[in-house]
Amino acid sequence: MKQSIPIWLTLIIIIETLPMFIGPFVAIFNPSGMPGLAKLPEPLGFALLYSARNLAVGIAFIIAYILKDKRMLFILILIRLITDLIDLPNFVYHGAFPNPLRLTVLFFCLYYIPAVYALRYLWKQIKR
Q: Domain-by-domain residue ranges, the chain?
A: 7-127
Q: Residue 105 has what pLDDT?
A: 95
Q: Which residues of the chain have pLDDT under 50?
A: none
Q: Residue 124 has what pLDDT?
A: 96
Q: Residue 127 has what pLDDT?
A: 93
Q: Residue 36 has what pLDDT?
A: 66
pLDDT digit string, tens, across residues 33-47: 676 666 667 777 778
DSSP character string of 29-74:
H-GGGSTTGGGSSSHHHHHHHHHHHHHHHHHHHHHHHHHT-HHHHH
Q: Residue 72 has what pLDDT?
A: 96
